Chain A
Amino acid sequence: MPSSHTTPSTFDRAGLSGEQLVAMLRTMLMQRTLESRGFQLNRQGKIPFASASEGHEAVQAGAAMAFVAGSDILVPYYRDLGLDLGIGLSPYEVLLSLFARAADQSAGRQFPHHYASKRLGLHTISSVIAAQLPHAVGAAYALAYRKESGRAVLVTFGDGATSEGEWHESLNFSAVHRLPIVFLCENNEWAISTPLDRQMGQPDLWRRAAGYGMPGIVVNGMDPVACYVAVRDALDRARSGGGASLIEAKCYRFLSHTTDDDDRTYRSPQEVAQRRKDDPVPRFEESLVAAGILTSAELASLKATILAETNEATDRAEAMAYPKSEEITTNVYAGSHEPWR
C-alpha cells in the first residue's frame, strides 16, 4: 500500500500547494479537537450524546480537498465530522448541533453530526445505515438527467453499510446508468462491536467493484494525500462522464462507537494501542514539518488557534437557547400540520 509518510525527500504532495496541505491538516486537527470537545461535554453532563470519528481524519480531509463545495453533492454518514468541516461547516455549527440549540440548522432535531446545507451541497441523512446511498444515486441521476457535467456526487459510508441491501442496489443502479458518483467506504474494521471477519467473507471491499463493472480502488485511509488523490481521480472520472467508482479507504476507529458505547467490552486496549501507531494526525503533522511546509512553531500556533476557536464556539453555542417547544410541529409538511381536515 502506498504511503506518503516515509521521509521528507519522498513526500508526494500530489500537486497540492503548501496552503492546501496545511488546510487539510487544519481540518484534521479541528475534527479531533471538536470530537474531544463532544466527549468532554458529554462526560460533564452538558450534552446527551457524541459520536466518534478518530482515525478517520486522513480520509475525510483528503476527500474534502477533492470535493468542490457548491458544485458537487456530498451525501455523508454520521461519522464524517471532518468531511463536513472540510467542505465548509463551521465549528460553531458543530457545537450548535452538539448542544441541540434553536440556531442549529435542524433547530435541534437531528442527532449530532447529521448536518444539512444546500449551500454546501450537503444532504440531510438519518442514522439508518446505508439508507443515504440510494439518495446519492438519485442525486447523481438528477445531475446526469440535467446534463450538468462537471458536477458529481460523493457518498460515504462505513464498512458496516456494505452489508445492507441498499448498498448493493445503489452500486448496481449506478453502474447500469454510468452515473457521476463516487462511493467512498471508510473501512474502520468495526460495525460497532462486530469485526470485519464477522461481516464479510472477503475483507477487501474494493474488489466488489468488479462485480458491478466499475473501478475499485483501495487506498491507505491513514494517508490524507493518498486519499485526496484517490477521491480526486474518481470525482474527475465521474464529472467527465466516466461513471461510478468504489473507493475503499482502510482506516481504523480509535474510540468507542459513541459516548454510549464501551469498546473494552468487545476489543482489547492492546489492539487499539497497536493501531494508534498509525494515527494519521501526528504522522501528517510530522510529514509537513519535516517537509518544511510548516514549522514546529507554526504547528503549535495552529493548534492553539484551533483550541481557541473551539472554546469560543463552545461558549457561544452553549449560551444559545433551546428550540421553543411550540416549534415541534413546524416543517412536518409544507404549510400547517393537521392530519384531520
Chain B
Amino acid sequence: MAVMNNVEAVRATLHDALATDDRTLILGEDVGNRGNVFLITKDFINEFGPERIIDTPIAEASIVGIAVGMAMEGLRPIAEIQFADFIYPAFNQIVGEAAKTRYRSNGEYTCPLVIRTPYGGGVRGALSHSVSIEALFYHVPGLKIVAPAFPADVKGLLNTAIDDPDPVLFLEHKKTYRLIKGEVPEGHYTIPLGKANVLKEGSQLTVVSYGLYVHWALEAAQMLNDDGLSVEVIDLRSIRPMDRGTILASVRKTRKLLIVHEDNKFGGIGAEISAMVAEEALFDLDAPIRRHCAPDVPAMGYALPLEEEYLSSPAKMADAMREMVRF
C-alpha cells in the first residue's frame, strides 16, 4: 500500500482511468497546460494528448453541457469545475439535462458523466473559493453525489463514479487535499455508492458527517474519549444515495444523533437525515436530534475571524458532543 494525500489519490485514479479506457477524457479550465490549479492533472496532457485532456474556454455551462453530449455519444467524460463556487452557471446542465437524460428518454439515451469539483473552506478562500454545494444538488433525482474524506475512499469511490452509468457529482474538500494522508490499496478497486463507514465505534452518541468535518469529528470524539465518553463517528462518504441502514443501526444503539456539516444548517444534508431518523426511529431516541452546521449566511468571509466563526472546529464539535452526551 502506498501512502497518498487526497490530491495524489485523485490524480492516481484519474491516471488509471485514462490509461485503461480510451473513452475517458478530462475537460475543464486549466486542466491541460497548467495541469489543474492543484496540479491534479499535471503532465496528463503530455501523456494522453490535448484531445483527451481538454483545456476549455472559461465557460462552465458548456463544460458540463459538452460532457453531457459526449456521454450521450458513448464517451466517458470527466468534467472538472475548477472550484465548486463556479458551478452555478452549469446548474441547468447538471439538474435540467444530465440528471434527466435517462428519465426523459426512458433509457434511450444515458449520461455516464463524472463532474469533479473542489469545495469547502478553511483555506482563506472567501466568498467564492470556499462554498459547499451539496445541498443545492442532493434534492435532484437522477444525480449521485459523493464526498469522500480519505485517500483510500477517494480512489474507490472515484473508480465507482467513473464506472457508473449515470451522472455523478464528485466533491473533493480542498482543505483535505494535502492535509489528509492515508494508505491507499494497490490496483483497481471500487467502493459502492451509498455505503457509509463507521470510523469509530461508540455507545453514547452517533455523529454523522462527511468531508473535512469527518476528520474534525474524529478529533473531537477522541477528546471525549479521553474524558471517558463514548462517541460513534460515521463518515457518510456518499450523499446521494445515502446509507440509511448504517445510520439507523447506530442511532438505535446510541439513542442520540448529532449531524455535523460545514454547509448551512437550513435545508442542508442534516435536515434530510434528521427527517429520516425522526420518521424511522423517533421512539428509539433519548434526546432531540441536533445539527451542528454553518450559520445562515451566504458564505464565509475572507477575514480570519469571519472564516473561523463560519467554520466549526474540533473544540466546538467536542462541546456540541458533550452537550448531547449529557442530555
Contact = CB atoms under 8 A, between A and B. Distances in A.
Contact of B72 (A105, A117, A138, A338): A138
A21 interface: no
Interface in B90-110: 92-93, 96-97, 100-110
B242 A341 contact: yes
B141 A134 contact: no
Nearest to A153: B69
Contacts of B71: 138
A118 B109 CA distance: 8
Interface in B244-280: 244-245, 276
B32 interface: no
A145 interface: yes
B28 interface: no
B285 to A, nearest CB: 18
B102 A331 contact: yes
A113 interface: no
B92 A131 contact: yes
B102 A173 contact: no
A124 B100 CA distance: 10
B191 to A, nearest CB: 13
A138 B61 CA distance: 12
A107 B142 CA distance: 17
Nearest to A142: B73
Contacts of A131: 65, 92-93, 96-97
A114 interface: yes
B57 A134 contact: no
Nearest to B79: A138
Interface stretch (A32-40, A163-171, A236-244, A282-290): A163-171
B166 interface: yes
Contacts of B68: 134-135, 138
A123 interface: yes
Nearest to A177: B54
Contacts of B104: 106, 109-110, 114, 116, 124, 126
B242 A340 contact: yes
A330 B66 CA distance: 26
Contacts of A140: 69
A339 B142 contact: no
Contacts of B65: 131, 133-135, 137-138, 166, 169-170
17 contacts: A105-B108, A107-B106, A123-B72, A124-B105, A134-B93, A136-B69, A137-B69, A138-B71, A142-B70, A142-B73, A165-B61, A166-B62, A173-B57, A173-B62, A331-B103, A339-B240, A340-B242
Closest 6 CB pairs of A and B: A138-B69, A134-B65, A341-B194, A135-B69, A169-B62, A124-B105
Given A134-B62, A138-B77, A332-B103, 6 more contacts: A116-B105, A134-B61, A137-B69, A145-B51, A170-B62, A341-B244
